[in-house]
């Protein structure tokens, strides 16, 4: 818990580019609504070109640093952390707006706990439905926001929407972490420029034994993707899947195993088979023979593409010989 005798400096990092009205709304909400005052704001200008943007940024009392390379969420924020003086860091999208006056305190009370790696908040769409309340792994798709689309004050399954709880990951649209821990873990992975960088960070923290905490008591609006369009990069998907494949196939440890992985929070069906990506990663709930056949079909296709049909025939004969020897 934060107390009168210990109010650590918090660095709020906000990347932006040529969206003055959005950034202005975000900054005004922090300055006018936040009850916690021991913070600094670091705005990372990712190569703004508009005269209006440059004029506004130069007029701010906050620290403005420039990152003039191509957009890479991980690199931008890693760079910003090296300029941060705070003991704790908040990564914040510029298309957010503070609702809860004590949002920083509510995050700090968990970020200061030594066993906690990162803290996430309740993010709302403008229509007061849930945009984020934690991240699920391998439910609905590769990753999904918990209770997305639910009403703001809905209890959620077993009251989890309105409960402080551990989860697999939280979004860096608004995430707090101790600066020292962020640097120890190696920051965001530069290979993940657009997607999964925050989830990957959380999973690495969990692998080190830290918990990831969601708090419903810190609320912000998130005008999702107003500042840049959502982009899917196959290479990043493949990179993420290769690193966390086993975890994705096992399913989220914080998700009820009796519920469907195809349709979140619905009863599980025996015949469901969840396709997680267009790369062929799926939760194999079919009979064993079908799973085996599907796996060998993918392997055979890869061999044929890379080495030709002749090599595929050789490998098939080798497989038959080995199988015969085991009998």
- Tens of pLDDT, residue by residue over 103-137, are 999 999 999 999 999 999 999 999 999 999 999 99
Kindly tell me if the per-residue pLDDT of 172 is higher than 80: yes
Q: What is the pTM of this model?
A: 0.84
> What's residue 323's pLDDT?
62
Question: Tens digits of per-residue pLDDT, 210-246?
Answer: 999 999 999 999 997 654 545 567 889 889 998 998 8
**How do strand 135-137 and strand 165-167 relate by DSSP bridges?**
unpaired
**Partners of 177 in beta bridges:** 89
> What's residue 268's pLDDT?
87
Q: Count the neighbouring beta carbons within 10 Å of the beta carbon of residue 160.
A: 19
Work out the mean pLDDT of the chain and round it to a whole number: 88
Mean pLDDT, residues 41-70: 96
Residue partners of 54: CB distance under 8 A and separation at least 6: 48
Phi-psi region of 205 (alpha: psi -120 to 50; beta: other; left: phi over 0): alpha
Residue 109 CB-half CA count within 13 A = 15
Mean pLDDT, residues 188-203: 97
Could you tell me the pLDDT band of residue 5, with boundaries at 50, 70 and 90?
very low
């Amino acid at each position: 818990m934060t107390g009168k005798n210990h109010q650590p400096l918090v660095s709020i990092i906000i990347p932006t580019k040529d969206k003055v009205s959005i950034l202005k709304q975000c900054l005004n909400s922090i300055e006018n609504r936040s009850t916690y005052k021991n913070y600094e704001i670091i705005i990372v200008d990712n190569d703004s070109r508009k005269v209006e943007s440059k004029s506004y940024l130069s007029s701010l009392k906050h620290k403005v640093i420039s990152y003039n390379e191509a957009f890479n969420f991980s690199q931008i924020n890693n760079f910003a952390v090296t300029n941060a003086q705070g003991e704790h860091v908040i990564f914040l999208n510029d298309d957010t707006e503070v609702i809860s006056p004590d949002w920083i305190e509510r995050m700090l009370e968990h970020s200061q706990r030594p066993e906690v790696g990162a803290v996430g908040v309740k993010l709302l769409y403008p229509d007061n439905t849930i945009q984020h309340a934690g991240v699920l792994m391998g439910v609905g798709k590769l990753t999904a926001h918990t209770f997305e689309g639910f009403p703001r004050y809905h209890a959620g399954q077993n009251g989890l929407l309105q409960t402080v709880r551990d989860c697999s990951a939280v979004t860096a649209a608004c995430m707090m972490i101790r600066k020292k821990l962020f640097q120890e873990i190696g920051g965001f992975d530069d290979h993940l420029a657009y997607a999964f960088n925050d989830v990957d960070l959380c999973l690495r923290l969990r692998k080190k034994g830290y918990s990831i905490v969601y708090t419903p008591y810190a609320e912000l609006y998130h005008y999702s993707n107003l500042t840049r369009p959502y982009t899917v990069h196959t290479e990043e998907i493949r990179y993420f899947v290769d690193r966390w494949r086993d975890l994705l196939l096992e399913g989220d440890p914080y998700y009820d195993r009796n519920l469907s992985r195809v349709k979140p929070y619905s009863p599980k069906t025996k015949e469901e088979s969840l396709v997680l990506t267009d790369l062929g990663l799926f939760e194999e709930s079919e009979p064993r023979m079908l799973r085996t056949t599907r796996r060998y079909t993918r392997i055979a296709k890869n061999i044929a593409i890379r080495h030709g049909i002749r090599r595929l025939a050789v490998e098939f004969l080798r497989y038959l010989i080995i199988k015969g020897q085991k009998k």
